[in-house]
Structure 1
Amino acid sequence: LLIRNSLRYVPYKDMKSVASDLKVIYRAISLDQAEEALLIFSDKWDKKYPAISRAWHKNWSNIITIFDYPDEIRKIIYTTNAIESLNSVIRKSINNRKIFPNDQSALKVVYLAIQKASQKWTMALHDWRAAMNRFAIEFDERFY
């Protein structure tokens, strides 16, 4: 989401190069490499687009939590399309019914909406098997 918000400030002619420089940050192997890549990005682009590195520095404490996970899991985490699709399904199901008699009825509507939407989701995430293996290793008692 931060990448998409960062690219709001960038005209089309610079979008590919800015996006590739941001990719170096969040695909870094370690936190130290990510910090170094952020400094390089700032040096390169702050004259044209200072708001981007300012936003990244401001949110850095939230961004760095991704480096607590191995690379296989990070690839799944920063692929947000599936998450945004799920949020869209939930928003649409709730907005269609505005008022619920209780929390349980809202939960049932969300559950049914997810069940119906999941029938359309047939494409597997890239590298999902490697991520599942890593989830099983990292979160053995919670992943089955």
Structure 2
Amino acid sequence: MADHAPLELERFLPYRLSILSNRVSQAIAREYQDRFDLSMTEWRVMAVLARYDGEGLSASEVAARTEMDKVAVSRALTRLVEARRVSRRAHDGDKRRSVLRLSAAGWKVHDTVAPLARAHERSMLAQLSADEQRALLAILDKLAPV
């Protein structure tokens, strides 16, 4: 019989980070999914478009900034454009490139959801002391620089 060394997933850092990310994201997502029929991917796309509003991003740029799969971003953008939450127009210098921006309806959703997301973040961080919060942010900056 071969020797096996199974991973202890409950102690494996990537697994634990994934679980934490899912828990946090799903807690926030429940609110905007029910209220706005908005998926997690759609919200992340909207958040990136809002953050970089002055730049007018392409779908590829959205995928790169979110580090999400291009197909998932494309599907989310299709739904957001159909729901008129995102506008798509051809780039002035390159008709093959689309420029994406939040529409007025998209901004309305964003301006409702963003405070909910910030409140969830504050609630989660309130479980940590000020020193723990600083340490967590320093660790995140080190492991996943922005």
Higher strand share: 2
TM-score range, shorter chain: 0.3 to 0.5
TM-score (structure 2 length as normaliser): 0.33
